[in-house]
Amino acid sequence: MLSLILIYVLVVCLGFVILKRARSSRGHALPPLLPGSLPIIGYTIQVVSAARNQFRLLKAVTSGSAEKGGITTTTFGTERYYFITDPQDAVTAANSCLQRHYAFDFCKPWLGDGLLTTSAETWKSHRKLLSPAFSLPVIHGLLEVFNSQSRKLLEEVAPHDGKGPFDHDVYLTKNALETLCVGTFGINIIDDEKFTQKYIKSLYEIIPMVTRKFVEVWSQSDFLYKLSGLKEKEDQLLDTLHSMTDKVLQEKKLARKGKEIKKEVTGIEYRPFLDLLLDLSENGELSDQYIREETQTIIASGFETTSNQLTSTLVLLGAHPEVQEKMYEELIDVLQDRDVEKEDLNKLVYTNAVILESLRLFPTVPCLLRCVDKDVKLKNYTMRAGSYCSISPLVVNVNSPWKAETTHFEPEKWLNGEYKNNSEFAGFGLGKRGCIGKTYAMTMMKVVLSHFIRRYRVQADMSQVRVKFEFLLKPVSGHEIRIQRRN
């Protein structure tokens, strides 16, 4: 009797899946199947078995789609996914699908309804409100902070000068968090070293918990999540992460009391991020809750991305001494031994190409996941409403098969026109909902590298580098560098 019931349930489930699939492709030819997809269950086995190695999964879907001409499709559970690596289709998809994938909802207990996680309906007004705080004049106003933070970093790593390899990521992460707080929030709360370390540790722990929820489907049930003890752990981590935001807001409000806030940089009126929000809150236009969520979002998205990209860039430079020397020559030529000023930024063309090349090979954000909430017409296919799409900068950036694990690092290609930093370059995302912090990140990374490479000669061995993917692509071992002070 029990086996009959089981067979009946199985048949009903299968019928449901087939019906849903038929509806999701109705009237439109589907793109080629992602290699490895099985009938009915699609890519479910691969996704579930990749819970602890999502990088392998990302690599498989990315190279599979590139091989099949730039777009493939498969299913996971009852849901249809499109994998896009064709550059033009990627731009169309990114501009048409503004709603992020439901996996971002798993971050909501942490980031609330901030810019990164907010729905497509509310996104436009949030973005309009925050954009002025990331404009060029504001970023130019932060150059002093970027320069002094970079000098601080040089002193912090000095004990490793002339010694063996060390994990520079630890120093870059702390420094980038500090820079973000001083620059974007206008306060230094990082005096409390233990507090910062606890914050960074909690961040490193919560990210895998959140990303695993996507593939470990059982943990999406509140009941099972609670039962497994993971909910309690998540709440503890959230306490630490939220206390950082509270500390930032508390200190900032104190610092503003009775103080005239700087209004002008380069003759154009600007407001740093947190001042802009607090001004609006004093006028009653924004709630405290909104400010808290946006502050959390900027902390979460603004420091590990840049530090991570810098970690990879230094490894690449360390493994390519000829590139490093060429960059050093440019830096000496433009800057000699002084700080970076705003007029210098456009003159550092080779340094700029080095950063872009690092973003091409090791895109810190290697996957853009969106909901397809209406039919979207691409060059040769139409994505059906009610499905999901994944765009991978890994291949979009080069329009050729996967190269990220090779040591093929050639910044020159950005200068001779082979690669173009145009609207199809996906290192900072694509289209309207791309990275709001792009100018901040590019400027900050340029300043840090300009100080670092002028002070130290860097050595690294790329052959041992191992990376992982948990929202961000991150080197986890073999990425250590050696430094030697230049004369």
Q: What are the binding residues? A: 435
Residue 412, token pair as written in the block: 């020159």
Residue type, 238: L
Under rule CB under 6 A, which residues in 113-132 are in contact with ligand HEM?
A: 115-116, 127
CB nearer ligand HEM, residue 30 or residue 153: 153
User: Measured at CB, which residue is nearest to ligand HEM?
Assistant: 437
Q: CA nearest 300: which of 425, 199, 416? A: 199
In order of 251, 259, 306, the CA distances from 254 in angstroms are 5, 9, 28
Shortest distance (Å) from residue 426 CB to ligand HEM = 7
CB nearer ligand HEM, residue 71 or residue 365: 365
Q: Is 271 in the site for ligand HEM (CB under 6 A)?
A: no
User: What is d(CA 139, CA 132) in angstroms, rounded to the nearest whole number?
Assistant: 10
Q: Is 183 in the site for ligand HEM (CB under 6 A)?
A: no
Here's the x/- map for ligand HEM, 282-321, by CB under 6 A: it reads as ---------------xx--xx--xx--x------------
CB nearer ligand HEM, residue 30 or residue 316: 316
Sign of dihedral through CA atoms 248, 254, 257, 258? negative
Please say whether the beta carbons of 378 and 335 come within 8 A: no
Shortest distance (Å) from residue 112 CB to ligand HEM = 13
Q: Which of 81, 402, 419, 428 binds ligand HEM (CB under 6 A)?
A: 428
CB nearer ligand HEM, residue 30 or residue 142: 142
Q: Is 185 in the site for ligand HEM (CB under 6 A)?
A: no
Under rule CB under 6 A, which residues in 347-386 are in contact with ligand HEM?
A: 364-365, 368
Under rule CB under 6 A, which residues in 71-100 are in contact with ligand HEM?
A: 100
User: What is d(CA 243, CA 98) in angstroms, rounded to the nearest whole number?
Assistant: 31
Please say whether the beta carbons of 371 and 101 come within 8 A: yes
Residue type, 441: A
Shortest distance (Å) from residue 253 CB to ligand HEM = 21
CB nearer ligand HEM, residue 434 or residue 478: 434
Residue 155, token pair as written in the block: 């002193």
Shortest distance (Å) from residue 299 CB to ligand HEM = 9
Q: CA nearest 433: which of 3, 218, 7, 119? A: 119
In order of 85, 200, 424, the CA distances from 65 in angstroms are 6, 35, 17
Please say whether the beta carbons of 479 and 167 come within 8 A: yes
- Phi and psi angles of residue 373, each rounded to the nearest 5 degrees, phi first: -95, -5
- The window from 53-61, 314-322, 414-422, 433-441 that contacts ligand HEM (CB under 6 A) reads 433-441
Residues that bind ligand HEM (CB under 6 A): 100, 115-116, 127, 184, 297-298, 301-302, 305-306, 309, 364-365, 368, 427-429, 433-437, 440-441
